[in-house]
Amino acid sequence: MEREYLNLIGGQWTPASSGATNPDRNPARTEEVVAVFPSGGREDAARAAEAAARAFPGWARTPLPRRSEILLKAAALLEQRLDEVAQALTREEGKTLAESKGETARGVSLLRYYAGEALQPTGDVYGSAVPSTFLFAERVPLGPVALITPWNFPVAIPAWKVAPALAFGNTVVLKPAELTPLTAWHLADVLDKAGLPPGVLNLVVGRGSQVGPALAESPHIKAISFTGSNAVGSGLAARCAERGIKFQLEMGGKNPVIVLADADLDKAVELTIAGAMLSTGQKCTATSRVIVHRDVLEGFRDRLVARASSLKVGDGMKAETYMGPLVSADAQKSVLEYIGVGKREGARVLTGGTRLEGGEYDAGYYVAPTVFDRVRPDMRIAQEEIFGPVVGVIEARDFDEAIALANDTRFGLSASVVTRDLGLALRFIREIEAGIVHVNSQTAGAEPQVPFGGFKGSSSGSREQGKAAREFFTQIKTVYLDPP
């Protein structure tokens, strides 16, 4: 029997108030139920928001070194169970075990990083025009915050929202994606065991369409940080704007790699493959367009196709697997639909383009690594986020056209250029419309100590991680202190 897990509300592990549950399934073997979770609804969300509100005054007063200690202890506990969490991640999300270990290790680093950040200065002292005035501005917490996270990085994204929210004195309701609750449960469990007081962190696994709006409407919730689709994000933003509360959205991407005429083509192929196919292309920073100078188009394309068609696809638990299944039946259907759209629009499939069938493939949601060429910028497959193992090759006649093509999208999360020319690399850095810029490295990847986020439709403009997280999770109190 698979284990039945519970939500954490006000320090109590509890079932959904309706009693409803939902199976957490393995996308590599859909018959396998990894765990059973509560299917929480509006009432659970409201109770969690109330619990977070009750816990807020005490947590806001908790000395920063104590908050820091709890985060450090949680980091140590997560590190101790790294293998267990990584296996849970692969079994519920499908990415390879190596990627799951890397992601869990990143969760540990994030908890440690914010344990340190908690001890950084909390404000600035200014000179006043009045000699007797002690004038300072302090960053103080917002209150209870709601954190709504997607399934594609189910440890790292909750960690990079929860850790700064707690470090800076907020209380939290975490609503992880229904598809991948087990990894988020581990994060909540280690923080609980590390000594967080009841109600400081609440976990509500449940239906996004119910729990999300209930959190956005709760009078207790003072800010929302969301990562997910543009459709849901813009709806949430409208609700937050109406209520006048702070919000932060991280959404889609259509991230380009530009391969210039002087590029090391083997390197260009490796980083395109890694960016496009790792995590089965299900990263907001995944590479989905590769814009290639016409002088090297043929050589690059042939090598890219050879590499893509040789990738080992299978269950992420097997050591030889490079790429696992898609996360769900809906995801598989949507990716196959986009492949059909690309073909109808006149792009050419060079490899892949179908679901994988036979043997173990019949048990899961597999799609072959897919490369299109003859992609034009006005095609839907050049404009819309596919979120799967699909990359489109677009030809450019020179650097200027390559940059124009790269910027011709409503998104602006990450981008990369492959070149040995320092002058062109510098122009790329200046001219590309993207929040995260790579030169000779893949479009994916995010270190905890630097800001993460996009330009244009990829984000609401604020940044996560690094010191930037303090800006979102605090507000400023300016104090004029005069002697009595």
DSSP 448: T
Our CB check for ligand ADP shows the closer of 217 and 421 to be: 217
Among residues 178, 250, 385, 464, the one that binds ligand ADP under rule CB under 6 A: 178
The secondary structure of residue 169, as a DSSP letter, is: T
CA atoms within 13 A on the CB side of 299: 14
Q: Which residue's CB is nearer to ligand ADP, number 77 or number 165?
A: 165
Position 218 contacts ligand ADP (CB under 6 A):
no
Give the binding range for ligand ADP (CB under 6 A) out of 15-23, 149-157, 161-169, 356-364. Answer: 149-157
Q: Which of 150, 353, 369, 412 is in the footprint of ligand ADP by CB under 6 A?
A: 150
Burial level of 176, CB count in 10 A (0-12/13-18/19+)?
Answer: buried
Q: Candidates 229, 440, 441, 462: give the one binding ligand ADP (CB under 6 A).
A: 229
Considering beta carbons, is residue 285 or 419 the nearer one to ligand ADP?
285
Check residue 240 for interaction with ligand ADP (CB under 6 A): no
**Any contact of residue 464 with ligand ADP (CB under 6 A)?**
no
Active site residue 360: no
Q: Which of 228, 325, 352, 457 binds ligand ADP (CB under 6 A)?
A: 228
Residues in contact with 257: Cβ distance below 8 Å, sequence separation at least 6, in sequence order: 268, 271, 272, 275, 287, 289, 290, 291, 415, 416, 417, 418, 442, 443
Q: Rounded CA gap, 49 and 32, in Å?
A: 33
Stretch of 171-179, 347-355, 365-373, 425-433 lying at the interface with ligand ADP (CB under 6 A): 171-179
Q: Kind and range of the H or E element at 43? A: helix 42-61
Residues 6+ apart with CB under 8 A from 135: 125, 126, 127, 128, 478, 479, 480, 481
- CA proximity to 40, closest of 283, 223, 184, 205: 205
232 lies in the binding site for ligand ADP (CB under 6 A) = yes
Instruction: Sketch the per residue contact string, 355 through 394, with ligand ADP: x for CB under 6 A, - otherwise.
Output: ----------------------------------------
114: helix, strand or coil: helix
Between 224 and 258, whose beta carbon lies closer to ligand ADP?
224
Q: Which residue number has the CB closest to ligand ADP?
A: 212
Distance CA 325, CA 364 (A): 7
Which are the contacts of 276, defined by CB distance < 8 A and separation ≥ 6?
Answer: 286, 287, 288, 290, 369, 389, 390, 391
Angle at 425 between CA 422 and CA 429, to 5 degrees: 140
DSSP assignment of 423-471, as one string? HHHHHHHHH---SEEEESS-S----TTS-B--EETTBSS--BSTTHHHH
Please give the size of the binding site for ligand ADP, defined by CB under 6 A.
16
Pick one of 49, 89, 115, 148: the residue that binds ligand ADP (CB under 6 A): 148
Question: Percentages helix, strand, coil for the chain, rounded to the nearest 5?
Answer: 40, 25, 35
Among 120, 209, 354, 449, binds ligand ADP (CB under 6 A): 209
Q: Which is nearer to ligand ADP, 93 or 117 (CB)?
A: 93
Report residue 442 as tokens: 């893949």
What is the nearest approach in angstroms of ligand ADP to the Cβ of residue 217? 10
CA distance 431 to 258: 13
Q: Is 155 in the site for ligand ADP (CB under 6 A)?
A: no
Please identify, using beta-carbon distances, which residue of 167 and 177 lies nearer to ligand ADP: 177
Cβ 176 to ligand ADP shortest distance, Å: 6
**208: contact with ligand ADP by CB under 6 A:** yes
With contacts defined by CB under 6 A, name the span among 15-23, 87-95, 122-130, 205-213 that binds ligand ADP. Answer: 205-213
Q: Is 236 in the site for ligand ADP (CB under 6 A)?
A: yes
Q: Is 221 in the site for ligand ADP (CB under 6 A)?
A: no
Report the alpha-carbon distance of residue 451 to residue 414 in Å, rounded.
12
387, two tokens: 């979120």
Judge whether 250 counts as a catalytic residue: yes
Q: Nearer to ligand ADP by C-beta: 213 or 445? A: 213
In 224-379, where does DSSP find H-type helix? 230-243, 265-277, 297-309, 329-345
**Closest distance to ligand ADP from the beta carbon of 252 (Å):** 9
Token match 């990143």: residue?
A: 106
Enter the tokens of residue 394. 């677009």
d(C-alpha 278, C-alpha 291), whole Å: 19
Contact between 149 and ligand ADP per CB under 6 A:
yes
The answer to whether the CB of 122 falls within 8 A of the CB of 470 is no
Residue 252 binds to ligand ADP (criterion: CB under 6 A): no
Binding of residue 237 to ligand ADP (CB under 6 A): no
Q: Nearest-CA neighbor of 46 among 240, 200, 249, 213?
A: 213
Max CA pair span of the chain: 82
Nearer of residues 41 and 314 to ligand ADP, judged by Cβ: 41
Choosing from 178, 284, 385, 464, the catalytic residue is 284
Tokens (6 digits) for 479: 């104090």
Give the shortest CB-364-to-ligand ADP separation in angstroms. 18
Q: In the complex with ligand ADP, which residue's Cβ is closer, 228 or 466?
A: 228
User: Is 120 a binder of ligand ADP (CB under 6 A)?
Assistant: no
The token duo for 156 is 């790292």
Catalytic residue among 50, 250, 385, 464: 250
Q: Which residues bind ligand ADP (CB under 6 A)?
A: 148-151, 175, 177-178, 208-209, 212-213, 228-229, 232, 235-236
Catalytic residues: 250, 284
